[in-house]
C-alpha cells in the first residue's frame, strides 16, 4: 500500500499576510503608531505592494474588520418565517452567529483598540460601527418580516432588534472587554441564545387576533 505524500501548506497569500501583520501591529503599537512601514516589514512585503492592495492604513483596518463582520451576516435574501417556531429558529441562528464571532479574541481586540484610539483615530470606531450596524440590520429584517406576517404586534422593528441583542449579550460584552472571562463555549452560547429568544418572544407575543384565527381554524365544526 502506497503512502500518501504529505502536502505541505503553501505560503499565505500576500493580502492575508498584510492583514495579519496589520492587526498584530495595531494590537502591539496602537492604530496611530502602527506605521505602514512596520506593517510592511512584518508582512515581508514592500510598501509598494501594501499600497497597491490597500491604499492606506485605514483601508487595512476596514478590511480586517470587514473580514470578521462578513462571517456574521446571514443570507441577504432571508425567507420570511411562516410561524413562531421558525421565527425563533431564525433569531437563534443570528444570535449564535453573533456571539461566536464577536466574542472571538481578535474581535475583542478591535473593540479595545477602538476604545483606546477613540480621540486620536475616531475612524477606527466608525469602521467598527459599520460592522455592528450590519448585525442590527439583519435583526431588523427578520422582525419586519415577522411583523408583516402577524407573528408579533406593532412596534419599531429596529428597537425590537436592539432589545433582542441586549437580551443576548447581557453583561458579557463588558466582561470580555475587561478580560474578566473567556469567550463563551458552544454550551454557553446555546444557553444564552435559548434564554434570549424565549425572553424576547415573551416580550413580543403573537397578536390576539392571530391566536384567535389559528384557534378557530383548528376547532372542528359541529
> What structural domains does the chain harbor?
14-55 (1.10.10.60), 67-206 (1.10.357.10)
CA distances from 57 to 19, 64, 126, 139 (A): 10, 11, 14, 31
**pLDDT value at position 15?**
92
Statement: the pTM of the whole predicted model exceeds 0.75: yes
**pLDDT value at position 130?**
83
**pLDDT value at position 47?**
94
Rounded distance between C-alpha atoms, residue 4 and residue 25, angstroms: 39
Q: What is the pLDDT along the chain (222 residues), one digit of tens a residue?
A: 455 444 344 567 899 999 999 989 988 888 889 999 999 999 999 999 999 999 888 888 888 877 766 666 655 566 788 899 999 999 999 999 999 989 988 888 888 888 888 888 888 888 888 888 888 999 999 999 999 999 999 899 999 999 999 999 999 999 999 999 999 999 999 999 999 999 999 999 998 755 545 444 555 554
**pLDDT value at position 7?**
39
Rounded distance between C-alpha atoms, residue 90 and residue 142, angstroms: 8
Rounded distance between C-alpha atoms, residue 25 and residue 38, angstroms: 7
Measured N-to-C along each axis, helices 36-43 and 47-54 cross at an angle, to the nearest 10 degrees, of 110
Phi, psi (degrees; rounded to nearest 5) at 172:
-65, -45
Nearest one of 107, 127, 111 to 57, comparing CA atoms: 127
Strand segments (E) across 73-161: none
Rounded distance between C-alpha atoms, residue 190 and residue 188, angstroms: 5
Rounded distance between C-alpha atoms, residue 60 and residue 51, angstroms: 10
**pLDDT value at position 77?**
63
**pLDDT value at position 209?**
54
Amino acid at each position: 500500500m502506497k503512502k500518501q505524500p504529505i502536502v505541505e501548506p503553501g505560503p499565505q497569500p500576500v493580502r492575508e499576510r498584510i492583514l495579519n501583520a496589520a492587526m498584530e501591529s495595531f494590537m502591539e503599537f496602537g492604530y496611530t503608531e502602527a506605521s505602514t512601514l512596520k506593517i510592511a516589514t512584518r508582512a515581508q512585503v514592500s510598501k509598494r505592494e501594501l499600497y497597491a492592495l490597500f491604499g492606506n492604513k485605514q483601508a487595512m483596518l476596514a478590511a480586517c474588520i470587514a473580514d470578521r463582520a462578513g462571517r456574521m451576516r446571514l443570507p441577504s435574501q432571508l425567507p420570511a418565517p411562516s410561524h413562531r417556531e421558525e421565527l425563533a429558529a431564525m433569531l437563534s441562528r443570528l444570535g449564535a452567529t453573533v456571539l461566536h464571532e464577536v466574542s472571538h479574541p481578535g474581535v475583542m481586540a478591535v473593540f479595545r483598540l477602538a476604545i483606546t484610539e477613540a480621540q486620536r483615530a475616531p475612524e477606527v470606531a466608525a469602521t467598527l460601527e459599520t460592522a455592528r450596524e450590519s448585525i442590527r440590520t439583519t435583526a431588523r429584517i427578520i422582525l419586519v418580516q415577522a411583523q408583516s406576517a402577524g407573528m408579533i404586534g406593532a412596534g419599531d422593528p429596529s428597537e425590537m432588534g436592539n432589545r433582542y441583542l441586549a437580551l443576548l449579550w447581557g453583561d458579557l460584552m463588558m466582561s470580555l472587554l475587561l478580560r474578566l472571562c473567556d469567550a463563551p463555549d458552544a454550551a454557553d452560547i446555546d444557553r444564552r441564545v435559548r434564554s434570549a429568544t424565549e425572553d424576547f418572544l415573551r416580550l413580543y407575543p403573537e397578536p390576539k387576533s392571530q391566536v384567535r384565527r389559528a384557534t378557530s381554524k383548528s376547532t372542528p365544526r359541529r
